[in-house]
């Protein structure tokens, strides 16, 4: 399969998983593909919840403006990380507690 320049595609993996209760699967891009060929995930990270049992399909996008990216069976195009999910109960409030960072937005942490 080829993903053309600036094109999106859905790539079937032929794999299904059973995510343990209280966990989620995060489908992440592979940095080498993104930096060398421009292939990354269209919805990074992709989220697989614990109840899903179907085939994992990877939504990719080729960010290279001129070169198609070839994908063959068995190619490693994404990676799956299983993470614990903490159950929380949101509470409505008229104000949020202060923090050291405060309301600083993008770039305000110095990183």
Class of domain 2-84: mainly beta
Note down pLDDT in tens along the chain; length 111 residues. Answer: 999 999 999 999 999 999 999 999 999 999 888 889 999 999 999 999 999 999 999 999 999 999 999 999 999 999 999 999 998 999 999 998 888 878 877 777 765
**Using CA atoms, how far apart are residues 67 and 37, in angstroms rounded to an integer?**
8
**Ordered DSSP codes for 24-80:** EEEEEE-HHHHHHH-EEETTSSEEE-TT--S--EEEEEE--SS--EE--TT---EEE
Joined tokens for residue 92: 């409505």
CA distances to 3, 26, 36 from 74, rounded to whole Å, are: 16, 20, 19
User: Taking the model in full, what pTM does it have?
Assistant: 0.80
- Report the distance separating Cα 60 and Cα 7, nearest Å: 8
């Amino acid at each position: 399969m080829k993903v053309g320049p600036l094109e999106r595609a859905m790539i079937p993996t032929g794999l299904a998983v059973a995510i343990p209760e209280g966990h989620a699967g995060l489908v992440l891009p592979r940095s080498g593909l993104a930096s060398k060929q421009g292939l990354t995930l269209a919805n990074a990270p992709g989220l697989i919840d614990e109840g899903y049992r179907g085939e994992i399909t990877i939504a990719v996008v080729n960010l290279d403006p001129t070169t198609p990216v070839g994908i063959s069976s068995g190619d490693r195009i994404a990676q799956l990380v299983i993470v614990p999910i903490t159950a929380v109960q949101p509470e409505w409030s008229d104000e949020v507690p202060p923090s050291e960072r405060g309301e600083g937005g993008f770039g305000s942490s110095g990183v």
